[in-house]
Amino acid sequence: MSESDSRERTDPMAQRAAGLAGGLGALVLVSGVFFTGTGLIVVNNVVVGAVIATAAAYTAAVPDGGPLPSLVGPIVVLVAGAWVVASPFVYGIGGPLFWSSVVLGALVIVLAGASAYGSLGVSKRTATGA
């Protein structure tokens, strides 16, 4: 299979959604410091933001999944985004970091869902040999 065949099967909207989710993951990563959070929420946001950014970047760079099934990356991003939304409630924080986590997490969930939907389409086209 040539590289051009592989590129024809990828969904550019799924790649863009994954790339945007990666950028939002980077924002989650620095949000604890930017909004002067204290406690475990800062460490949580750094770790989870790095996971989101890494998994989303992998999904955008390798939309057919490479050695992993194509849905693994978007699902990891989706679950991490859900944790970003839930973490302010778990850690009991308020203020700007609360809203930053909720809004960024919700946007990551939406973009990860779009990326998963596009990856599912890529998987179906790959399976049918289109």
pLDDT at 88 over 50: yes
Average pLDDT over residues 46-56: 95
Token pair of 122, please?
Answer: 């890529």
Residue with tokens 């973490």: 87
> What ranges in the chain are assigned the alpha helix state H?
3-9, 12-34, 40-61, 72-91, 96-128
Q: Are 57 and 23 in contact (CB under 8 A)?
A: no
CA-nearest of 85, 77, 70, 73 to 119 is 70
Structural tokens at position 45:
């946001």
Task: Look at residues 48, 1, 46, 24 and name the one whose alpha carbon lies nearest to residue 115.
Answer: 24
The pLDDT of residue 37 is 79
pLDDT band for position 2 (cuts 50, 70, 90): very low
Taking residues 13-22, what's their average pLDDT?
A: 88
Q: Between 49 and 72, where is the model more confident? A: 49
The tokens of 53 are what?
């950014």
User: Is the pLDDT at 102 greater than 90, yes or no?
Assistant: yes
Q: pTM for the full model?
A: 0.82
